[in-house]
Structure 1
Amino acid sequence: MTTPSPGAARGCPIDHSMLTAPNGCPVSHNAAQFDPFGDGYQQDPPEYVRWSREQEPVFYSPQLGYWVVTRYDDIKAIFRDNLTFSPSIALEKITPTGDEANAVLASYGYAMNRTLVNEDEPAHMPRRRALMAPFTPAELAHHEPLVRRLTREYVDRFIDDGRADLVDQMLWEVPLTVALHFLGVPEEDMDLLRQYSIAHTVNTWGRPKPEEQVAVAHAVGNFWQLAGRILDKMREDPSGPGWMQYGLRKQKELPEVVTDSYLHSMMMAGIVAAHETTANASANAIKLLLQHPDAWRELCEDPALIPNAVEECLRHNGSVAAWRRLVTRDAEVGGIRLPAGSKLLIVTSSANHDERHFADADLFDIRRDNASEQLTFGYGSHQCMGKNLARMEMQVFLEELTRRLPHMRLAEQTFTYVPNTSFRGPEHLLVEWDPAQNPERRDPALLAVRQPVRIGEPSAHTIARTVVVERATPAADGVLRLRLAAPDGKPLPRWAPGSHIDVECGDTGLSRQYSLCGDPDDAAALEIAVLRDPASRGGSAWVHDHVRAGDRLRIRGPRNHFRFDEQCRRAIFIAGGIGITPVSAMARRARALGIDYTFHYCGRSRQAMAMLDELQALHGARLHVHASNEGRRANFGKLLGQPDADTQIYACGPQRLLDALAECCMAWPADALRVEHFVSRLGSLDASKEQAFTVELKDSGLVLEVPAGQTLLGALRGANIDVQSDCEEGLCGSCEVRVLAGQVDHRDVVLTRAERDANHRMMACCSRACGGGRLVLEL
């Protein structure tokens, strides 16, 4: 008779007595079978743990001896609290080596110390601050010419061959050369360094067989000694360029912070970190794009999409599958109690596919507006310092390949990966093309084309799409109505009433926001109406003078910061002039939902009021037309004289109209009046009238001083902190950040009165601290 294993009675498929985690039982069948070294995880980590994201987001893996975490919010919370969730085991060998391999490492004097990746506080942040300056966007810009030159040279070597292994022939060597240049290391023994880097990855995150461990140990030991010799040579003259020389100079200034052992460890770790993940990320990105030919074609036709495509590639198939953390005190993650001493494998690649944070997360969408919120680079005080160097290299690779080899395709192959828990990229990437179709053979001038590289925080400016002007028709005196469709006839993004798009005005450098005024249920096109404004800053005049049916425009969006509450019981819609555009879509939606509403449209004359006939046919007696030349001015004092808690007011129009409405609604409930502005002047910066203020970045462990002549957004950029931006006028809401403490001087026109009073959010492009005070931000 067989005695059941402990835990079996409770449905646990493994022997409970073998578990090291106090509350690790019962273990589900999926958890018991979890194997990060198997082919399923190596080929597609997010898909391999889909069951966990959906059913068991925190589970114990008896094979690994780790708790595994797979959802976005849980993983971001872990990154935020690096005291409870220590990074100290991030570089710990996940597979302990035997005595013989350990003896080999000892024979080389191997003594790898803590680095920026796995160091605890209070040591970590002082070192990070001391060594951060070379990683800022301004400093990284100096490396762009080298990246471009190397990429061009390596493509030149195979451009006429018709076939290449991009990993072997470009994607390892270029990032390694750039990494050595950034670090200040001589470009010698590149093949050997690649071999050492792979050995370091296998030694730390892999599962080498006993017979392989000794060979890996020799490679790691040689790597350690080589790093020491390079560092010793640098000490002879630390005045040269390079991050390691910068560190040596900082050592003289801060010897207790930047120590000898620290520099030796960072030399070795830096060579790996600065190139291996970039090489893998680039190979993953090109593979992913070639697997999605429509996306590849769009990049070839519109290279301005490349920066956001890089973010989406990092989200969808990044080079960092997981990180590790050690629980230092009893804690709870995702509702599961974790005792002190527990080890965590936080699967960031799974978080990047979490439907709770990324809509339609498995869809590869190079225009995804929150792709930059991916966790491939980590988050908070241990976020990858080299993230912007990697972004820059990936952008240049994609620019060069899409321009010179738009006809490139994947060759038939089986993709293999070095088995490990954390870092992944195909060992080979075989591509092919017909050299006779190389565009540069027909047009050598295209070799001189350069797409600007975005170094630093992602920008909504890079998410533009091309549309064709299907119709351009007069909608009223001085108003042009445009119907915009996809060139290939495919559906355009869905939108809700109140949404706007940004239209790029040709080569003028101008970008202007226009509210959508068509039918939200019409997925075939987007419609806007543009008033020629005598006081135009150039946008409306350009549209009227240059845009015709058949033209192509670049747009961004839709985005919505003027939302219609579809649960409201009653609505009053008020439009002044061209402010009819967003309000018309709201009224159409209220009519479709059966909401009780009235609609007031104000203008100089009926001839100047866009879409009037269409609106009268649609809304009938609910529409009240107030034409000034007919003596029919609206009496909003009378209309809004009696507050009604069940009524919401939506208005868009000239500032004088909005100011009058605000005064009439003073007695109404907070935010009963919801408005959209055409322009904002609150964000203009006059250094002579401003006060400097301090911001504490809670998640990053940084304190920044924002001078009187600088915006918060500018200060964040300078500190290498990712924050999206677009209009930089307080109109679009792209640069919103979360406020944890301090009083904000709100200068945007996005937040409602209640949102401002709550003081939980601010726009980094224009708002500041009240009275030069201190703000604490969730960044």
Structure 2
Amino acid sequence: MVDFNPYDAGTWADPYPTYAALRAEAPVYRNDDLRFWALSRHADVLAAHNDWETYSSAGGVTIEGIEKDFPMLVVKDPPDHHWHRRIVSKVFTPRRMSELEPFIRRQARELLDAQRDATEFDIVGEFALPLPLEIISELLGIPVEHRMTVNRLSDLLTERGPDTDPNQFAEAIGGLLALYLELVVERRRKPQDDVISMIIQTEVTDDEDGRTRRLSDEEIAFRFLELGTAGHETVARAIPNGLMAMTRFPDQARMLRDDPSLATKAVEETLRLDPPSQLQGRTTTRDVTLHGVTIPAGAKVMLVTGSALRDETVYDRPDVFDLTRQHHPSTLFFGFGIHRCLGAHLARLEIKIAFEEIFARYPEFHLDLDRAEWQVSTNVRGVSGLPFIVDPAGASVPAGA
């Protein structure tokens, strides 16, 4: 019988054989020790995302559900969810995204410039992590001096495992909220031309009761905590995930090198083959029977996106990184339905630019997969360290050359 513990280090390093067993043997799985159920087939995960009335987010999106009592958008269901999301969606307008593109490319080049003479460096610590941190910080208006603190506390917020300090979640969320509240109070006193000031001043009409709504200081702080964490954690894991995939499938790396226009396909295939967001938690509001198994009302159910995106009934050769893949049946890697990721376009853009700049700069490189350092966290899977080795014939090419 298959055993699925998302926090097991071996499973986290390679969960896909376990996912395949779940789909085949236990599409409705129960972990009695951690007290959660899991759905692993594409059709079931997609249906659950689209049925928020049955699969509620209000109980939290992690196995532990620690975040359920906080005023976060990710744990809100309609009707409150609608007007809260309408305010935050103003952060991710097409105009703001297009304005960020030159900044993203400049940041990517500067980070790689700093490694110009290196024959080996950590692609995570020196590139994949600081790049999205700078982008989301620039978008949200987080001062430069606070950005590494945001990174450190965000890591503490999501880290899980047998050796995890039980007090670190409180330390992380307390530190981040204090930082964001300080920024909100400062912007109320002295508004600027930035996102924080814009959200403070934004009001929307609640479709449910017709009332005009604004976010409180605490709600704004929690929105920025969510955006700041999600906005750099997922991209920071997706970039090395894609590079590792192309190391395992060198023929696809050659295709991308020969045809840079395939960078967009490389992003989509990275997010399908090895998505950074592996699990999304929901709580059932009624009894649900699937595949002859009944999940009771009030149960924690984890939607296993990482498994759904390798469902062999949906994808041809699901375990292969394939830049010629013709279509993606759904974009489950950014969630679906009302909780689809607000920053999906920005994340895609950052990963695409990262791939373009790396392949343009290094004619030949490889990653030492044996020295990859896996970090076990709540829902986001990826490495915290990964050696990037410049091959002798692959010296760095100056940006724009």
Shared fold, TM over 0.5: yes
Larger radius of gyration: 1
Distance 2:204 2:26 in 1: 51
The CA RMSD over aligned residues, in Å, is 2.3
Match of 2:188 in 1: 235
Superposed displacement of residue 233, structure 1 = 1.5
Distance 1:209 1:300 in 2: 41
Q: Does the C-alpha gap of structure 1 residues 237 and 415 become closer, same or farther in structure 2, counting only changes over 3 Å?
A: same
- 2:171 matched to 1:218? yes
Superposed displacement of residue 257, structure 1 = 4.6
SS in 2 for 1:319: coil
1:395-453, Cα deviation, whole Å (9 max, x unpaired): 1000000111130111363323222341111111111114664363xxx6xx337xxxx
Q: Does the C-alpha gap of structure 1 residues 358 and 412 become closer, same or farther in structure 2, counting only changes over 3 Å?
A: closer
Superposed displacement of residue 120, structure 1 = 1.2
Q: Does the C-alpha gap of structure 1 residues 326 and 380 become closer, same or farther in structure 2, counting only changes over 3 Å?
A: same
- 2:125 matched to 1:168? yes
Q: Does the C-alpha gap of structure 1 residues 149 and 448 become closer, same or farther in structure 2, counting only changes over 3 Å?
A: same
The question of whether the paired residues in 1 share the 8 Å contact of 2:275 and 2:333 is answered with yes
Mind listing any 5+ residue stretches in structure 2 that lack a counterpart?
206-210
Distance 1:144 1:410 in 2: 27
Alignment size in residue pairs? 396
Match of 1:766 in 2: none
Match of 1:37 in 2: 7
Distance 1:288 1:430 in 2: 14
- 2:286 matched to 1:329? yes
Distance 1:74 1:195 in 2: 35
Match of 1:283 in 2: 240
Q: Does the C-alpha gap of structure 1 residues 50 and 341 become closer, same or farther in structure 2, counting only changes over 3 Å?
A: same
Mind listing any 5+ residue stretches in structure 1 that lack a counterpart?
1-28, 97-109, 450-779
Alignment of 1:123-162 (within 5 A): 123-162=80-119
Q: Quick one: which of 308, 311, 324 aligns to 2:265?
A: 308
Q: Does the C-alpha gap of structure 1 residues 129 and 113 become closer, same or farther in structure 2, counting only changes over 3 Å?
A: same
Distance 1:272 1:94 in 2: 18
Superposed displacement of residue 289, structure 1 = 1.3
| AA of the residue aligned to 2:259 | D
Match of 2:197 in 1: 245
Match of 2:208 in 1: none
Distance 1:248 1:65 in 2: 39
| AA of the residue aligned to 1:424 | R
Higher relative contact order (CA 8 A, sep 6+): 2
Match of 2:50 in 1: 80
Superposed displacement of residue 347, structure 1 = 0.5
1:3-50, Cα deviation, whole Å (9 max, x unpaired): xxxxxxxxxxxxxxxxxxxxxxxxxx32xx321111232012232221
1:333-362, Cα deviation, whole Å (9 max, x unpaired): 344322211110111000000011111211
**Matched-pair identity in %:** 29
Distance 2:180 2:393 in 1: 45
Superposed displacement of residue 137, structure 1 = 3.3
Match of 1:457 in 2: none
Superposed displacement of residue 117, structure 1 = 1.3
Distance 1:360 1:92 in 2: 30
- 2:151 matched to 1:194? yes
Alignment of 1:581-730 (within 5 A): none
Superposed displacement of residue 377, structure 1 = 0.6
Q: Quick one: which of 371, 374, 384 aligns to 2:341?
A: 384
SS in 1 for 2:213: coil
Q: Quick one: which of 410, 420, 436 aligns to 2:377?
A: 420
Distance 1:119 1:352 in 2: 25
Q: Quick one: which of 253, 267, 275 aligns to 1:318?
A: 275
Distance 1:130 1:356 in 2: 38
Alignment of 1:209-608 (within 5 A): 209=163, 212-242=165-195, 244-251=196-203, 256-371=213-328, 373-411=330-368, 413-434=370-391, 437-438=394-395, 440=397, 447-448=399-400
Q: Quick one: which of 32, 40, 52 aligns to 1:70?
A: 40
The question of whether the paired residues in 2 share the 8 Å contact of 1:321 and 1:421 is answered with no
Greater share of residues in helix: 2
| AA of the residue aligned to 1:270 | L
1:224-245, Cα deviation, whole Å (9 max, x unpaired): 2112112212222334122x33
Greater share of residues in strand: 1
The question of whether the paired residues in 2 share the 8 Å contact of 1:352 and 1:374 is answered with no
Distance 1:208 1:269 in 2: 25
SS in 2 for 1:213: coil
Distance 1:175 1:302 in 2: 25
Distance 1:61 1:111 in 2: 20
Q: Does the C-alpha gap of structure 1 residues 44 and 274 become closer, same or farther in structure 2, counting only changes over 3 Å?
A: same
1:437-481, Cα deviation, whole Å (9 max, x unpaired): 4363xxx6xx337xxxxxxxxxxxxxxxxxxxxxxxxxxxxxxxx
| AA of the residue aligned to 1:148 | R
SS in 2 for 1:326: strand
Distance 1:411 1:175 in 2: 23
| AA of the residue aligned to 2:223 | M
Distance 2:204 2:185 in 1: 15
Q: Does the C-alpha gap of structure 1 residues 111 and 94 become closer, same or farther in structure 2, counting only changes over 3 Å?
A: closer
SS in 2 for 1:248: helix
Q: Does the C-alpha gap of structure 1 residues 215 and 384 become closer, same or farther in structure 2, counting only changes over 3 Å?
A: closer
Distance 1:111 1:79 in 2: 18
| AA of the residue aligned to 1:309 | A
Distance 1:194 1:273 in 2: 11
Q: Does the C-alpha gap of structure 1 residues 380 and 219 become closer, same or farther in structure 2, counting only changes over 3 Å?
A: closer
